[in-house]
Every structure is written in C-alpha cells, then in structure tokens.
Homo-oligomer: A and B are copies of this chain.
Amino acid sequence: MDTTNIRYIIFDTFGTVLDWHHSIVSHGKELNKKYSLNIDWGTLAIGWRNDGYFKATFDIAHGKREWVPADTIFTEYLEERKEKLGLQVLSETDYKQLCRIWHRLSPWPDVLEGLHRLKTKYAIGPFSNGDFNLMVDIKKAADLPWDFITTADLFQKFKPDPEVYVDEIKLLGAKPEEVVMVAAHPFDLDGAKLAGCTTIYVPRPKEYGEGTDYKEPAGKEKIDYTAEDFTALAELLNA
C-alpha cells in the first residue's frame, strides 16, 4: 500500500493487541486451584466482555447512559453477579485483583515484533475504550513500545461513537489521511473510516478462546486492508 502520507498508526486494544480471554482464563484457573472452585472462566470471561464491557460502552456510545470510566464498568459487572458467579469466597485482595485483571492483559504472540517494526517508521499508540491509567499499566506490564497512549476517557466518549474518532484525529494534530486505524472488529473500524482514516482489519479468530467457533460480524463500511497478524501488518505498512 502507499504509505507516503501516513504518520500515525492507532490500535484498538482488547482483542486486537491483547488476548483478554486467555489472560482471564489463566488467572481464573489459579483461583480455581487456590480455592478449590469449579468456575468456568472461559464463559465468565466472555460474559464479562460481551454482557458487561461491550454492552455498557455501547449504551454510553449511543447515548443511552451517562459516561463512566471503563474500570467502573468492569467492577460493576462482577459486583452485580458476585454470588451467582461463585466469587463471594474470594479474599478481598483476590477479588480486587480479579476486578483489575484488565490492567494486566497479555498481548498476542505476534504483537511485540510487529509494533517494534512499525515504531521505526510511524508514531504508534492505542486508541482504546480502556481507561488511560489501565493502558499505562498494561504498557508497563507487557513492555509495549507505544509512542503515546490515547483512550476514551480523554474524550469521555466511547467508540464507536463517531465523534470520538474525530476528537482523536484532532488531538493527534493530524489530517485523517495521515492516520491508519487497526482493529480486530469491523464495527470499530467503521467510525475511523467515516472520519477519513485508512482502516486495517486484523482478524483474531481465537479472541473468544481456543476452539470456539467465533465469527466476527461484518462492519457497515468497507475495510481498506486486511493483515493476518502484526507481522503481516508491519509488512503491509513497509516497516
């Protein structure tokens, strides 16, 4: 692709950069062992993501609810289901640590190499619905080579609210054609496309766990490019 005018590459993170499902299941299995529990962490993780995080950020993005930080959304989901999920047996420390597991998610195996290559040519950063401090924690824990961090709480709006993509480009002091957005979710690329950015889809078929038959729903707008993983992404962007 022609990369002449491109200056910024921005990334959706949960699912695209970070393997949230595997990170939660690994942590959960440790808790199962410690407390002799039998919690199905794969199902819990998917519920937390879809019925908790996704539902709340979508409601806020579509004006059905007032804005609250992502951390509040993550905690309220568990809080409302504490007994039903069998989490009431956890110590206060373990329960609090679980609520904040989103601050310690691991990246997919191809991410670090791809980002290090992209960083040599472009300014790279997350553009996430996760909170700013959450993204700082993840960056430190996983040593992600971001040049900057941008998050929904900077604008107090959530993707896919179309306005937040415009706010993001403005904050970067960029023309839309200087910005590429990368995501594993076509609905998330729609807003970037409407705002005039180039969009690259990186499918993550294992986002909902090994062996799940998850199929990402199509977006409404046409995606510009697809890359298999972050190594292919660096290749595509001549980095």
Cβ distance A77 to chain B, nearest Cβ, rounded Å: 19
A residues 136-189 in Cβ contact with B at 8 Å:
136-137, 139-140, 146-149, 153-154, 171-174
A232 to B71, CA, bound (A): 36
Which chain B residues lie closer than 8 Å to A50 at the CB level?
Answer: none
Partner of A147, one of B123, B134, B136, B174: B136
A229 at the interface (CB under 8 A from B): no
A173/B132 contact (C-beta < 8 A), A140-B147, A148-B149, A149-B148 known: yes
Cross-chain contact B172 with A148 (CB below 8 angstroms) = no
Which chain B residues lie closer than 8 Å to A123 at the CB level?
Answer: 136-137, 139-140
A3 at the interface (CB under 8 A from B): no
A172 to B103, CA, bound (A): 13
Chain A at the B interface: SS class:
helix
Cβ distance A150 to chain B, nearest Cβ, rounded Å: 8
Cross-chain contact A173 with B134 (CB below 8 angstroms) = yes
A131 at the interface (CB under 8 A from B): yes
A133 to B174, CA, bound (A): 8
Extra 15 A-B pairs, beta carbons < 8 Å, given A123-B136, A132-B172: A71-B173, A123-B137, A123-B139, A123-B140, A132-B148, A132-B171, A133-B173, A133-B174, A135-B148, A136-B147, A136-B172, A149-B149, A153-B171, A154-B154, A154-B171
In the assembled complex, 11 residue pairs joining A and B whose CB atoms fall closer than 8 Å, in A order, are A123-B139, A123-B140, A132-B171, A133-B171, A133-B174, A136-B147, A136-B148, A139-B148, A140-B147, A153-B171, A154-B171
